[in-house]
Structure 1
Amino acid sequence: LLNNAHTSRVKMIVVDSGLNNLGEWRKHERDLAADYKLAYGEAPGNVIGIALLTDTDNTKSETRALYGDIELVRKNLK
């Protein structure tokens, strides 16, 4: 969990990093409610946006990423 350098309102969770699996498609599944609770200490409200970032501003290097289909699945909440 990382704090955003520009605002305390945004938290970042690194899901994948490094040279391992370079050139391969990767599949990730996340529990957005659990991620939100980890970042902010409380349950989330309704999702109004999701950001996917690929950047190197902290490492002063270069990168390239391709994103495939993104699917959000609502789980039954009890």
Structure 2
Amino acid sequence: MNGETLLAPGFDGIKGLTISNAIHLSDWTHEMVTLPIDQAKYKELLMQKVQRSHIKDGSKEDLSINFGVTSTRWEVQW
């Protein structure tokens, strides 16, 4: 902005979003994916998720109890 050098150019953000989309696609298909991802397949599966989504009632449990604790689902073996 205002002629200043950007700390993180926009294309870096796109790369991060691409990785995020690849993670979702892999989860939805239970398959390994390669980059670039199949955009048509991603959009199709995303739209299926949108069609099945609905507003949930508010949570009644105190979610702050587990603050900082992650599920084993997020443990990644690189």
Specify which structure has the bigger relative contact order, considering alpha-carbon pairs within 8 angstroms and separated by 6 or more residues. 2
Using structure 1 for the length normalisation, give the TM-score: 0.22
Larger Rg over CA atoms: 2
| Structure (1 or 2) with the greater helix fraction | 2
